[in-house]
Structure 1
């Protein structure tokens, strides 16, 4: 399946569970706008994340980084949604995330246990914003790859240029509210940067 098909299936699954996903699938991000999202993510958002979390290893902090990024984009009126799933790098599953595992977390509710999960944002129809994956790429695949940057791109670009295959399984900020006691309010949504 392609990213958008996984994304639609994850939205349907999330809404059936009552998570209340708010994907903006009717708002495709124009190619001409991607550079602006990259700039905002790696200038304003990255500065905020470094100030908040320091410059340590971020790959195991995707929940906190994703939540902070969600709040940032909500604050500036950009439609985004949290996505929970797996990232495959060079053909290897990185987080061992499964739908069954995520459903178990949802059904169990709040827990202090470590989750097998990766979290990123989806802006508009299919723009991926991932503040945590660069640390993983730097640590395990390419030490010349900057560890502190926000990876932004369309799924096809990320797959072809960076060998990152994102597999959405659930979507919606309410997932973190229930499983991590982390309320994340939605704000009014704009349609572009």
Structure 2
């Protein structure tokens, strides 16, 4: 693997398996131009209006633990093979959440004992990212012209090149949210 995101994602997958999170990531899934266009259309035309109705048009930059699992469930409902990923995102070289792997594991082992720093997004295949909340942070801290309520999506290299977003996966699996936040999530799409 020549992509830093891909190697970190694979490591997060392996660590998550060892922690019994049962991640369902299909690293062999082909991300075609057609799939990318379909996902983009789905996010713009279906997901954003739904999320705005659910969460309002306030600041979403600290809402990833609420909004990403909801997005995951909608994508699963549409039969899209995806997984929740937990870690850090860097914007223009600045880590946004100070996420720490050991803290993520502590929260998993003893949920609710303290607030923990985390960013959550959705991954398809080996490196396709869907992030419903990071746009709010870009708008608030980096560029007021950047639309705050949009879903950022694309391959990790393209997001790094075009938007200076570097994703750092640490754990994966919907079971993490179920265990730490008591949000029951189901897979409807099978990772094949």
TM-score, with normalisation over the residues of structure 2?
Answer: 0.95
Runs (4+) of structure 1 exceeding 6 A deviation are none
For residues 67-86 of structure 1, the aligned pairs below 5 Å read 67-86=69-88
Whole-Å Cα distance in 1 between the matches of residues 105 and 95 of structure 2?
Answer: 19
Tell me the equivalent position of 1:18.
20
Contact 2:85–2:173, Cα closer than 8 Å, also in 1: yes
Residue 48 (structure 1) aligned to one of 40, 50, 71: 50
Q: How many residues matched? A: 190
CA RMSD of aligned residues (A): 1.4
Residue 97 (structure 1) aligned to one of 84, 96, 99: 99
Tell me the equivalent position of 1:6.
8
Contact 1:74–1:189, Cα closer than 8 Å, also in 2: no
* SS of match in other structure, 2:79: coil
Tell me the equivalent position of 1:163.
164
Uncovered stretches (5+) of structure 1, i.e. residues with no partner: none
